[in-house]
């Protein structure tokens, strides 16, 4: 009897531990060997996710059931990164370069290529291929983009420490290059547009956030925060006073920030759990009211012993409110 009693207790303890350790949040798994997608964009009209490829440059699409297929590729692509569906719902804008992980990297493009591709979503045909490298001398890494209410696009260049503007006529100009952005390695990265007329950008190396007024882009302001987000990557403005920020490079969590003064200051309001086990999350997209994250798995690309991954996951972010500090 004692033996059976102990076994029953052990089984109960194991079951209890499982209850205390929640499963990771919902995922859409898909097979796309050696792609290492970084960018993600949800197309609500077609109910599809578009994903980039830091390794191959290919631009793919993923169904909610996890079926991957190619939307666009050509021999000139090295790496594709951030992407967004244009507000008109007809075109996909994609950042293309050769920053670090491309299988096809070459001396003539490494840290030199900076392009914006515009893809027709009905046909998968390339509509425009805009060269950004001539807008500022030096190294280049076109990383992420956003749109304003007029359909203008804004792109971060993480090596040039600059933001470019591409207008509705596909004309590209240098919007701003500020000393506050300058750092070693990957600098400004994620970018979001606020309808009050400014951009919010983060800096991967410093973990800081900046506010860039479009009426006076040279007036870059640090957004004061209660903490830094080293490894900051993609941004998503959920509401005028709520911002999602993806953090990777060891932390691998998703955070929500809030403000009550139009992003002069911000504070941490919610976070995902360690138990969700994001794997080098990179960028985010909105599907309805839900935030979905691209797990880029870039940690494997710096490990010489790793075997190229075949399966990747788009993962739902489930946030837990951060307890308020006493007196606040």
Distance in angstroms (rounded) separating the CA atoms of residues 173 and 242: 29
Task: Determine the pLDDT at residue 325.
Answer: 64
pLDDT at 162: 98
Which pLDDT score is estimated for 326?
59
Buried b (16+ CB within 10 A) or exposed e, 264-278: eebbbbbbbeeebeb
- pLDDT at residue 4, rounded to an integer: 46
Residue-range domain boundaries for the chain: 28-321
What's the confidence (pLDDT) of residue 24? 84
Q: Angle at CA 182, nearest 5°, toward 178 and 186?
A: 125
Burial of 309 per CB tally in 10 Å (0-12, 13-18, 19+)? middle
pLDDT tens, 299-314? 999 887 789 999 999 9
Top CATH class, 28-321: mainly beta
Q: What integer pLDDT is reported at residue 19 of this predicted model?
A: 46
205-244 pLDDT per residue, tens: 999 999 999 999 999 999 999 899 999 999 999 999 999 9
The count of residues in the chain is 328
Q: Which residues of 92-122 are buried (b: 16+ CB within 10 A; e: fewer)?
A: bbbbbbbbbbbeebeeebbbbbbbbbbbebe
Pairing outcome for strands 188-194 and 27-31: unpaired
Q: Are 96 and 75 in contact (CB under 8 A)?
A: no
pLDDT at res. 21: 54
Tell me which residues of the chain have a pLDDT lower than 50. 1-19
**pLDDT score of 11:** 44
Nearest Cα neighbor of 214 from 158, 265, 244, 175 is: 175
pLDDT reported for residue 61: 98
pLDDT of residue 9: 41
């Amino acid at each position: 009897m004692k033996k059976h009693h102990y076994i029953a207790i052990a089984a109960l303890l194991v079951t209890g531990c499982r209850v205390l350790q929640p499963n990771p949040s919902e995922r859409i798994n898909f097979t796309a060997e050696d792609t290492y997608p970084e960018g993600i964009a949800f197309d609500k009209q077609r109910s599809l996710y578009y994903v980039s490829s830091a390794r191959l440059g290919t631009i793919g699409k993923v169904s909610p059931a996890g079926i991957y297929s190619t939307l666009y590729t050509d021999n000139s692509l090295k790496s594709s990164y951030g992407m967004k569906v244009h507000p008109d719902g007809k075109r996909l804008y994609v950042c293309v370069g050769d920053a670090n992980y491309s299988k096809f990297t070459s001396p003539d493009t490494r840290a030199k290529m900076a392009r914006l591709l515009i893809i027709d979503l009905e046909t998968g045909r390339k509509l425009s291929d805009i060269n950004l490298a001539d807008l500022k001398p030096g190294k280049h890494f076109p990383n992420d983009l956003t749109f304003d209410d007029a359909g203008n696009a804004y792109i971060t260049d993480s090596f040039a420490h600059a933001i470019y503007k591409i207008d509705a006529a596909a004309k590209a100009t240098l919007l701003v290059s500020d000393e506050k952005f300058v750092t070693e390695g990957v600098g400004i990265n994620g970018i979001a547009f606020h309808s009050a007329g400014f951009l919010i950008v983060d800096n991967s190396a410093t973990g800081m956030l900046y506010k860039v007024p479009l009426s006076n882009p040279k007036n870059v302001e640090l957004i004061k925060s209660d903490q830094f987000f080293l490894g900051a990557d993609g941004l998503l403005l959920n509401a005028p006073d709520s911002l999602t920020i993806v953090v990777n490079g060891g932390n691998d969590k998703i955070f929500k920030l809030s403000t009550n003064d139009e992003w002069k200051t911000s504070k941490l309001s919610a976070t995902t759990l360690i138990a969700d086990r994001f794997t080098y999350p990179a960028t985010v997209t909105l599907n309805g009211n839900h935030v979905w994250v691209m797990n880029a798995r870039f940690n494997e690309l710096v490990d010489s012993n790793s075997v190229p991954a075949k399966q990747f996951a788009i993962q739902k972010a489930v946030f837990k409110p951060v307890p308020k500090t006493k007196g606040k």
